[in-house]
């Protein structure tokens, strides 16, 4: 479980501050060492599909909702 704390971003010339709301996302990582040199892995990032919101002075002043889709990676690592 990864958590991102709330933050303030000043990217609009100092008019209104933009707040990025805190959110949680679930990441999964599974690795298997076949032998000393070979490893296979599967990982999922944001598997629950949590979104990120940002707003200005009041939470009703919504600036952006980022619908961040889950990402999956499958791979093999070999060390020489």
Residue 12 has pLDDT above 80, yes or no: no
Residue 68 has pLDDT above 60, yes or no: yes
Tell me the whole-structure pTM to 2 decimals: 0.65
Q: How many domains does the chain have?
A: 1
Region 5-11: what's the mean pLDDT?
A: 61
39 compared with 19, residue with greater pLDDT: 39
> Do 17 and 55 meet the contact criterion of CB atoms below 8 Å apart?
no
Nearest to 26 by CA among 2, 4, 5, 6: 2
Residues spanned by the domain of 74: 2-78
Residue 78 has pLDDT above 90, yes or no: yes
Residue 16: its pLDDT value, please?
75
């Amino acid at each position: 479980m990864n958590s991102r704390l709330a933050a303030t971003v000043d990217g609009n010339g100092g008019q209104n501050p933009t707040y990025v709301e805190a959110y949680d996302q679930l990441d999964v990582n599974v690795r298997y060492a076949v032998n000393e040199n070979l490893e296979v892995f599967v990982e999922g990032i944001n598997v629950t599909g949590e979104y990120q919101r940002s707003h200005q002075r009041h939470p009703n002043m919504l600036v952006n909702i980022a619908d961040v889709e889950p990402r999956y990676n499958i791979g093999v690592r070999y060390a020489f």
